[in-house]
Structure 1
Amino acid sequence: MSQDEPVPAATAEQGGRNLLLRTAAAMVLAPSAIALAYIGGWPWAVLAMLVAVGLLVEWFSIVGFSRDWPSIGAGAAALLICGLALAAGRPWLALAAAALGFAALAALGGTRRRWSMTGFVYAALALAASILVRADEAWGFTALMLVLLIVWVTDIGGYFAGRSIGGPKLWVRVSPKKTWAGAVGGFVLSLLVGLGFALLGFGKTVPLLIVAAVLSVVSQLGDLFESAVKRQFGVKDSSHIIPGHGGLLDRLDGYVAAVVVAVLIGLCRDSLDGVGRGLMVW
């Protein structure tokens, strides 16, 4: 995800092609994600598991473990078992699988084991949060759509506000192209999403505005975190699997941070089976 400042004319054509690729990819991926989120259950859980494994593989590639097949295999197996257990309503089994996967990577990781363990925790949190927020039968889809829309508009608002306005950089050392104008633009659009949900009767206005604000900020922090990891290892894109966007990590960095925090908010206010209600109903 990027929030670009105004670009010179020499690069305008390249930027236009990139925008077309981003738009085309979004037009395919977004409806597919929404459809599976609506169906919920095992189809959504399977998508979450596949994405989590993809996140782990890309993370290992970034940190220089792309050929560490024992670690990749152990981490992927643990993630799949964790996802199956969560989808079957066995959270303690999922926790045990995650703990075993973490221990296996600690043993196999070698001199950079902290990076492999961090990547596993990152993928496992993304997996667990995605399944748990949707598991709420009454509010799961609504809560998941709130998270997705906030992340998407934060990204879109940041991209266009950053390119059209430019101005002071947000954090040059980590992500040179991101600007404060882009950050504010994305934040404002996220508030409109929260307001829209309230107007449609999906919750109270003030709490939803607060939730939208928190998730938008967290989403941008997640983006910066992934950028910092890539910069640490001198990597531009996590992969090239998504045209115009890079890899899964590039596309989902904000979502991972936002959905994890959304689940934490839901758990603070409700049970493990009522994460969506805890997030939406105040």
Structure 2
Amino acid sequence: MHKKRKLRQYIWCWIFILPTTLFYIGFQGWPILSSIYYSALNWSGISSDKSFVGLSNFKELLSDHWFWNAFANSFKYMLYSVPLLIVLSLFLAVLLNEKTLKMREVYRTLFFLPVITTASIVGIIMLFIWSPTGAINGLMQLFGAKRTVNFLGQASLALPTVAVIGVWKDVGIYMIYWLAALQSVPQDVVEAAKIDGAGKWEEFRYITVPIILPIGGVIILLATINSLKVFDIVQTMTGGGPFFATDVMGTFVYRTAYASSVGMPRLGYASAAAMLFGLCVILIGFILNTLKNLISRKRVD
């Protein structure tokens, strides 16, 4: 009787996770397998004429200047955005975790609103704000600037500008992650530290940071991987320009696979680029996760 009851429980568990499993296979698993197959083809994606070329697409990528430009820009975007995103979101989380702060729920909502706003809408609005006649230049002129700055039209400024906008949009979700981590700090330990004379900085440095460090490793991992997958905000604001200065892997793959501006689309070549970059992201994720586990293990010891 006990075995039958346990069997029924297993069956019901599988029934409940079946829809999620099917959606994952349909929208994640199958596209990944298809991309692996397409990466070995010379195919535009819109014609029936396709031929198997093996690793030729990957060999061509190794000597493709525009691929490596997009590859490097993806990592530049990560280096611009992730440190600022982590520091700013942690600062906001610590600030809004203070119980004495009035209307902290309202502030949390305001900082989270950009997260749920469509990236394309954010990009269009930011185009006007950061334009030479926009609000940012107007504010700079109020403080004495004599020339307008074309933030998105200069190759040296475009990618850092897009990174700042990306940080503004995503900081709310990482603030929530840090707030969840801060809830794991035992209040009795904090109160004991205050009784012993510890100030805010000492409390944060010697109590809060060591406790939230393992969760912080997960947050840094998520921020790094998500920054490398950036596409929508870049595509909306610059399309990879000016002069491919903001061309990241997402825009490179999109342009190669679908955009007619480069001539006949090359879905097979774009799939190879996506697979190669995806392997690099997996490797980075593995390294960061290993470091996180080592730090957590050392902390336990």
TM-score by length of 2: 0.33
Larger radius of gyration between Structure 1 and Structure 2:
2
Q: Greater relative contact order (Cα 8 A, min sep 6): structure 1 or 2?
A: 2
